[in-house]
Amino acid sequence: AQKITQTQPGMFVQEKEAVTLDCTYDTSDQSYGLFWYKQPSSGEMIFLIYQGSYDEQNATEGRYSLNFQKARKSANLVISASQLGDSAMYFCAMREGLQGGKLIFGQGTELSVKP
Amino acid sequence: SAVISQKPSRDICQRGTSLTIQCQVDSQVTMMFWYRQQPGQSLTLIATANQGSEATYESGFVIDKFPISRPNLTFSTLTVSNMSPEDSSIYLCSAQSDSVTNGYTFGSGTRLTVV
């Protein structure tokens, strides 16, 4: 069965610095997708970035990049130049298969950006 | 990407009663998903709703407690039946919104309090 683990319940980062949020996963499938979502205090779920298991390049979306290490089964999110508005819960999620399917979420990391 | 309208946004209910949550998507989607998010926790998948077939429930969730309807490709409902205070949570629906980015879009959530 698939499993997602986020071992950092809370993280602090200084404004304008970079931060890495950890995510490890476990699956027996060769084909899978990895996602990161942001959930601010308002509760909405905001899609940040996606990495497919066969993608050779690390995904990037603006200030977000995904450090994908397939052999280690890790998919860490890197946020560069942190902003105060980045303070939120961040969830790593996985879907088995590359097409449609359910998302399973990790426990989440609460990021606080300090001015 | 798809937009989901979810309602109600919040409700306070008496124990023993039932509440039906509705999600309307502005485009046709194959699968819709229902999640529960208990206070300070991650998202836990309740079930996957396919149009024209019975929903597929995750371990720990049963149809009698959480009946789901999916009458067409743009609409789904989740009913929380015979509620107890332990059912107090945020309930979110989701659908895969864009096959290119593989992102999933979420409704704004229903904050349920059972008294």
A58-111 residue pLDDT tens: 999 999 999 999 999 999 999 999 999 999 999 999 998 777 789 999 999 999
How high is the mean pLDDT of chain B? 93
pLDDT at B82 over 90: yes
For residues A39 and A95, the answer to whether their CB atoms sit within 8 Å is no
CA distance linking residue A78 with residue A21, whole number of Å: 6
Tell me whether strands B104-106 and B10-13 are parallel, antiparallel or unpaired: unpaired
pLDDT at B101 over 80: no
B58-81 in b/e burial notation, b at 16+ Cβ within 10 A?
beebeeebbbbebeebbbbbbebb
For residues B110 and B8, the answer to whether their CB atoms sit within 8 Å is yes
Find the chain A residues whose C-beta atoms sit closer than 8 A to any C-beta of B.
Answer: 33, 35, 43-45, 47, 50, 52, 91, 95, 99-108
**pLDDT over 70, % of chain B:** 95
**Residue pLDDT, tens place only, A51-66:** 999 998 999 999 999 9
Q: Which residues of A touch B103 (CB under 8 A)?
A: 35, 47, 50
DSSP B71: E
CA distance linking residue A109 with residue A96, whole number of Å: 22
Q: Which residues of B touch A35 (CB under 8 A)?
A: 102-104
Q: Which residue of A has its CA nearest to B101?
A: A50
**Residue pLDDT, tens place only, A27-57:** 999 999 999 999 999 999 999 999 999 998 9
For residues A35 and A98, the answer to whether their CB atoms sit within 8 Å is no
The side-by-side arrangement of strands in the sheet containing B68-72 is B4-7, B19-25, B75-80, B68-72
**Residue pLDDT, tens place only, B26-79:** 999 888 999 999 988 999 999 999 888 889 999 999 999 999 999 999 999 999
Q: Which residue of A has its CA nearest to B37?
A: A43
pLDDT classification of B6: cutoffs 50, 70, 90: very high
Q: Which residues of B touch A103 (CB under 8 A)?
A: 33, 45, 94, 104
Using alpha carbons, select from B110, B86, B94, B100 the residue that is nearest to residue B32. Answer: B94
Using alpha carbons, select from A63, A39, A61 the residue that is nearest to residue A50. Answer: A61
- Expressed in percent and rounded to 5, the helix, strand and coil fractions of chain B are 5, 50, 45
Q: For residue A112, how many other CB atoms are within 10 A of its CB?
A: 13
Q: Which residues of B touch A52 (CB under 8 A)?
A: 102
Torsion angle (degrees, nearest 10) of CA A76, A37, B40, B75:
-150
Sign of the torsion formed by the C-alpha atoms of B30, B46, A75 and A72: negative
Check CB contact under 8 Å for A103 and B104. yes
> How far, CA to CA in Å, does A48 sit from each of A28, A59, B38?
25, 10, 22
